[in-house]
Amino acid sequence: MERTYVENLKVGEEVLLHGWAYEIRELANLKFLILRDSTGMVQCIVKGIDLMKISSELTLESVVEVHGKVKKAVVKTQYTRGDIEVEVTKLKILNKAEKLPIHVNEKAVEPTELSKRLDNRSLDVRKPKVSSIFKIQSTIINSFREFFFEKNFVEIQPPGIIGTSTEGGTDLFSVDYFGRKAYLAQSPQLYKQLMAISLEKVFSTSAIWRAEKHDTSKHINEIRQMDIEVAFSDDMKIMKYLEEAVRYMVKKVIEKNKKELEILELDLKIPKAKYLTYAKAIELLNKNGFKLKIGDDFEPEAERKLCSLFPNTVVFTYEWPIEIKPFYIWPKDEKKKVSGGFDALYGGVEISSGGQRIHLPEVLTKNIKSKGLKPADFQWYIDSFKYGAPMHAGWSIGLERITHAMIGSDNIREVTLFPRDRKRLTP
């Protein structure tokens, strides 16, 4: 007999199920076993001397094989299919679980603290609410790919080991590369630009590493990043791509993850978009109790305030000051000292930054020097723009950050499968 998944069970069928023992409840002459597989949970009724004897060895999260008949029923157990139950005819324990270090079924106990959950992540993801997060995240990254494939973008694979700082900062993880100093990539930025000036429209999904010594609820040191870069595009055109992509990703989550959204008690809606110049955003924040001046970056509280002023909206702030944007961002108006750089906020946090890039070698060299960097360290990059480079623009979205924003989690580690921060290197 072939295995049947919980979501496909139908009344009257004889079935074979494989899964985990999520909950075990015993009465005088029968036992209720809640079996969980990757598609859901179902209540199984165990009765009879032989079956009760086998089930007496059952422990929570043991891997089991169940043969039985599907019957109509009204079941009110949380997360379990409410329309059916399985009357067990054969029960086999495939792998008995030892005493659990954390509770998977937290219905009757205090929730486990996050640190201990992360220490036991393979158990933690068995919880319906936690697995729902990562099923949603899977939809997010796949819909990102789908969106740009449909627009004839080329997927590229940038390197994870680089010889030069991408952002010009010092917060990189260094590695010994056969006796030479190299770094873990803090962004695919320079490499996606070099592909966009030849292939026109490119995107990538890759891990990046940032060595900032953060201890906040929205920063981690290893990130999954979703990037695009487009030739013959400026900051305004590229922001439109971002608006449409975020709306598409949210739409797909609403369509494909109805069950997960219900488990997480989320009423997700496709967001609107609002475009503000950086100067206008400063003015708006100052009218709402902040004391900011041109040249200031936005602290988390300011980001949350902008999002609260425009609920369920992707808020774009563009034409940021040249001085606080990276060396590769186009100086849009040098007299006004504004760049072609932008940030995007959603769900109370910054989900993306991007903008128009510098495509002229002489301007790039000048900008690198203005940031206190050495053009010689970037010569391979500068030289690439000498051979017919069109104007181009792009952006990146952190996968964990947009998941964090979309589901409203308290800590980005909740939506990171195996977080890497200053204190955590395992599991």
d(CA 378, CA 158): 17
Residue 20 predicted with pLDDT over 80 = yes
Question: Quick one: average pLDDT of 290-318?
Answer: 97
pLDDT at 168: 58
d(CA 210, CA 223): 8
pTM of the model: 0.95
pLDDT digits over 133-163, tens only?
999 999 999 999 999 999 999 999 999 999 8
pLDDT digits over 218-272, tens only?
889 999 999 999 999 999 999 999 999 999 999 999 999 999 999 999 999 999 9
The phi, psi pair for 385, rounded to 5°, reads -90, 5
For residues 256 and 249, the answer to whether their CB atoms sit within 8 Å is: no
Q: Hey, which residues does 84 pair with through a beta bridge?
A: 72
Residue 215 predicted with pLDDT over 90 = no
Nearest to 366 by CA among 319, 340, 320, 329: 329
For residues 241 and 230, the answer to whether their CB atoms sit within 8 Å is: yes
Q: What is the DSSP string of 325-374?
A: S-TTB--SBTTTTB-SEEEEEETTEEEEEEEEBP--HHHHHHHHHHTT--
pLDDT at 170: 61
pLDDT digits over 83-125, tens only?
999 999 999 999 999 999 999 998 878 889 999 999 999 999 9
Is the CA virtual torsion 140, 142, 144, 146 positive or negative? Answer: negative
| Amino acid occupying residue 236 | M
Q: Measuring CA to CA, how many Å separate 316 from each of 198, 238, 242, 272, 307?
A: 28, 11, 10, 11, 10
Percent of the chain with pLDDT over 70: 99
3-state DSSP call for residue 207?
strand
Domains by residue range for the chain, with CATH: 6-95 (2.40.50.140), 128-415 (3.30.930.10)
| Angle, in degrees to the nearest 10, between helices 300-309 and 278-287 | 90
Token readout for 115 is 């640190």
pLDDT at 386: 97
Q: What is the tally of helices (H) and strands (E) in the chain?
A: 12, 16
Percent of the chain with pLDDT over 90: 93
pLDDT at 167: 62
| Amino acid occupying residue 150 | E
Strand order in the sheet with 154-155: 154-155, 201-209, 222-231, 392-398, 349-356, 341-346, 313-318, 272-277
Question: Quick one: average pLDDT of 186-213?
Answer: 95
The phi, psi pair for 155, rounded to 5°, reads -80, 130
